[in-house]
Structure 1
Amino acid sequence: MTAQRTTTPVTGIVGLGSMGEALLHLLHRAGHTVVAVDSDLDVLARAAARLKAVLAAEDGPPRPDVTFTADHTALPTAGLVIEAVPDDPAVKGDVLGRIVAVCPPGTPVVTTTATLSVTRLAVATGRPDDVAGIRLFTPPAAGGPAEPVRTPLTSPDTAAAVDALLASAGLDPVAVGARPAADATALVLGFLNRAVVLLDEGYATQHDIDTAMRLGCGLPAGPLETLDRIGLRTAHTALTELWRRTGDSAFEPAPLLSRMVAAGRLGRTNGDGFYAYDETGAAVTDRPADGPGDTDAVAVRRVGVLGSGAMARGIAEVTARAGYPTVLVARTAEKADRALEAVDESLTRGVRRGRVTVQAKASARELLTGAHDMVALADCDLVIEAVAEDVDVKRAMFTALGEICAPGAVLATTTSSLSVAACAEASGRPADVVGIHFFNPAPVMKLVELAHTGTVGQKVLATARAFCATLGKTTVACPDRTGFIVNSLLFPYLGDALALLERHDVDIEETDHAIRSGFGYPMGPFALLDTIGLDVSLAIQNRLYACFGTPEYEPAAALEELVAAGLLGRKNGRGLRTSGRR
């Protein structure tokens, strides 16, 4: 019996930007001989050097050859060619034309376009039966999503070749569709663009912006990390095309993004973007371990929590579990008792799910007490206010705290959309007041936004930061401003999604699926709105709009109408994806 010989597939890749280089590494790891083509000699040299560094670091078995060249005439040896240049119609048309001019008929040609019509690109080559697409939302990684795109003219052989390519590269085929994919891409690009604006304003560092959105929204990567991975020129091109086509100023590339592209800072593509990258293309971690002034932190021995709602109960549970004697102060003794019962139930659920030990539950309950008189807060080193999001109510609470609490006690508000400075002023001791915005549910979410006013003392800020670290939380720093980091970026994105409802061809389920499947977000915008609560979302957007007055914060008419009609989301079973839609 004669042994069957296996042949090494030969694959061409034209364009070694973020998408092309990622495909190069995937296919080379899968055993493909690769012909890598790019017109930029510096790009070729960089891609070759990176591949060499990666192979040296892995120290694995020998792999097939990779030919790096600027000459398209090297492509005819390939059994399949991938075009991976930026989503510019003219550029893609030119490159696809060059490929079909040198490759024999019957060679599958694959375009990586995310937003352009594969059918039009295919027809323009004159060989539409040989052309198909793979839709990549971000640079591919093993196990990541990729959508095979067949046109009405794609031949069965070409379609089969695309399926085999994805399987060989270890990519997960997903079905999204052109319209949902375009909508999802536009929503995400607008969000990423706003993150660059926030950075350019100097409001927060790139590390804090990315950390806030990863931990606060469960994203697989922060917006600036994502832009670096996509490639800043690629993102700039896509934004420019969306801006040209729609006239929507949300897609006008942020000035900082334009400046970076003009200066040749293109992200991971060339090792210099919002972050720096080593010779293998891995991000260089340069975040300082501690913020300024942490050595001034004062030990916290006893904690007070003012309020009895879900956030107050969650915070009290977190502080007690961290070993702090904690007093929860409610308006009445009955409310305080009910709050403690709710904490006990939460701890019991934690035990049942294996997140909390029986001993830890018992210890936390022993440390947690309730009260209905604010005098109980007098001996607390740190007091966290978690009452209703009403500025008059909060100011009244801080006026009382300023009189009751011991000198030097840290006074914190959990607000995310009201003024920390207003609370500080009402306290009569503004140097002691800081914003500590926990995310709901507090026992689960790791992020805390630490908001500082111009009057807060550095010792207070350092104490608050060190205290949050003992709770197992990650803090991001930002000046006192409505929305802080997360809400100021999240709600324009949600507003953009709601604006899609003005179109007749939008399917809520398909859009959410595209965001989840394509970009790896834990849920789509419509499901997220239902989870937050449409009424809560409207209130936050109204506060953002009142503060900034710019179009991206203006509540969508659809949101106001939904709330007026009593559609509030998950809380009452009637919303965008509730009432039998699931």
Structure 2
Amino acid sequence: MDMTIIAVIGSGTMGNGIAHAFALSGFKVNIVDLSQERITDALKNISRNLERQVQKGIIQMSQQTDAISNIHGFTLLEPGVKDADLVIEAANENLDVKLKIFRELDKFCKPSAILASNTSSISITKIAAATRRPDKVIGMHFMNPVPIMKLVEVIRGFSTSAETTKITMDLAVTIGKVPVEVNDYPGFVANRILMPMINEAIQCLHEGVAGVTEIDTVMKLGMSHPMGPLQLADFIGLDVCLAILNVLYQGFGNSKYAPSPLLVNMVTSGQLGVKSGCGFYDYSGGTKEAVVSKKFRK
């Protein structure tokens, strides 16, 4: 299948990263979001990230120019997706939001188009059931930051065809990624393993086993992790971590996936990590400092 036009739904961190990767590989990319302001911010972010790649000698200036010219923004869904060969949804990690988007995509996209979700935990089979083309619905779980991270989890739903899977796997290779095919179970592979580890680190903090920097230092120096689990949780977004853990807990019905009360309290209070300026660390002053309030501790 000749894939030339890619549509990305959502221009946030993941959406603009996905657009960046495809545009840099020569694809025409349509970014669709609710406002022109969001699209403008995404284009500025992509430009900055491409400039960093030029400065580091990863790409040539001509590649930067070509990539930017490959991207177009749309505030309406139909014109942004009607000619797309592949649509990648990168909206909030919310099942109802995704179902609504996929119903509309099914209506506006051409019959041959593959519909993919960048979901990090939600069932591809459930999402596919909202369309009349479940054989053409698949998961493409990119890692953050997308321009740097090589892995793409390719999630095959119950009805996803072998052809759709092969096209998606090949396409990931085309943009320089390493695709790994997995089956559709809660959390897939990456988050089924990662989130319980992050949750356990949060629980250690909640129980007073050690402090924020101490927990992260143990995992960095003892396990050779490039980033401690609490700092990583801040980077992912504590609300996203909570949503994924809830999917795991509800999907498996196993208490080992139950979110730590500290995580629940922090999300409820609006301490979401980097995106809010404060999580397990404070990012508001330009430096990273451990700041978890003792009133949330056990």
Q: TM-score, normalised by structure 1?
A: 0.47
* Contact 2:212/2:290 (8 A) holds in 1: no
Which string of whole-angstrom CA distances, capped at 9 and with x for unpartnered residues, describes residues 204-224 of structure 1? xxxxxxxxxxxxxxxxxxxxx
Query: Which of 261, 277, 290 is residue 581 of structure 1 equivalent to?
Result: 290
Displacement of 1:530 after TM fit?
Answer: 2.5
1:478 aligns to 2:182 (yes or no): yes
2:91 maps to a residue whose letter is V
Task: Please say if 1:411 is aligned against 2:115.
Answer: yes
Residue of structure 1 aligned with 2:26, choices 320, 323, 344: 323
Q: 2: distance between equivalents of 1:459 and 1:305? A: 21
The count of residues paired between Structure 1 and Structure 2 equals 285
Partners of 2:6 and 2:147 lie apart in 1 by 16
1:508 corresponds to which of 194, 212, 216? 212
User: Relative contact order, CA 8 A, sep 6+: which one is greater?
Assistant: 2
- Structure 2 residue aligned with 1:421: 125
Give the SS at the match of 1:380: coil
Aligned to 2:66: 363
Question: What displacement does 1:502 show?
Answer: 4.7
Look up the SS of the partner of 1:370 in the other structure: strand
| Alignment-derived partner of residue 155 in structure 2 | 451
Aligned pairs for 1:426-437 within 5 A: 426-437=130-141
Q: What is the DSSP-based 3-state SS (H/G/I as helix, E as strand, rest coil) of the residue aligned with 1:396?
A: helix
**Per-residue Cα deviation, 1:325-350 (whole angstroms, up to 9, x for no partner):** 11112223443333323322322232
Shift of the 322–414 alpha-carbon distance from structure 1 to 2, 3 Å rule, reads: same
Distance in 1, Cα, partners of 2:126 & 2:138: 11
Across the aligned residues of Structure 1 and Structure 2, the Cα RMSD in angstroms comes to 2.0
Deviation track 1:287-335 (CA, whole Å, cap 9, x = no partner) reads xxxxxxxxxxx23122111222221111111101011111112223443
Checking the alignment, whether the CA contact within 8 Å between 2:10 and 2:31 is kept in structure 1 is: yes
Shift of 1:504: 4.1
State the Cα distance separating 1:471 from its structure 2 match. 0.8
How far apart in 2 are the matches of 1:365 and 1:497? Answer: 40
Greater Rg over alpha carbons, structure: 1
Offset at residue 461 of structure 1 (A): 0.8
> Once the two structures are superposed, what CA deviation does each residue of 1:550-580 show, in whole Å capped at 9, x if it has no partner?
1210011122223334433333343324374
The answer on whether the counterparts of 2:93 and 2:243 sit within 8 Å (CA) in structure 1 is no
1:534, 1:559 within 8 Å by CA — same for their partners in 2? Answer: yes
Segments of 5+ residues of structure 1 without an aligned counterpart are 1-297
- Does the 8 Å contact 1:416/1:482 carry over to 2? no
3-state DSSP class of the match of 1:564?
Answer: helix
Secondary structure of the residue that 1:500 maps to in structure 2? helix
- Percent identical among aligned pairs is 36
Contact 2:93 2:240 in 1 (8 A): no
* Counterpart for residue 49 of structure 2: 346
Structure 1 segment 498-577 matched on structure 2, within 5 A? 498-577=202-281
Letter matched to residue 397 of structure 1: I
Structure 2's unaligned 5+ residue stretches are 283-287, 292-298
1:465 equivalent in alignment to 2:169: yes
* 1:495–1:552 contact (8 Å) kept in structure 2: no
CA contact (8 A) 2:24 2:67 kept: yes
Change (3 A) 1:517 1:455: same
Q: Distance in 2 between matches of 1:384 and 1:542?
A: 23
For residues 520 and 349 of structure 1, what CA distance do their matches in structure 2 show? Answer: 26
Distance in 1 of aligned mates of 2:96 and 2:102: 10
The offset of 1:537, in angstroms, is 1.7
Cα deviations across residues 226-278 of structure 1 (Å, max 9, x unaligned)?
Answer: xxxxxxxxxxxxxxxxxxxxxxxxxxxxxxxxxxxxxxxxxxxxxxxxxxxxx
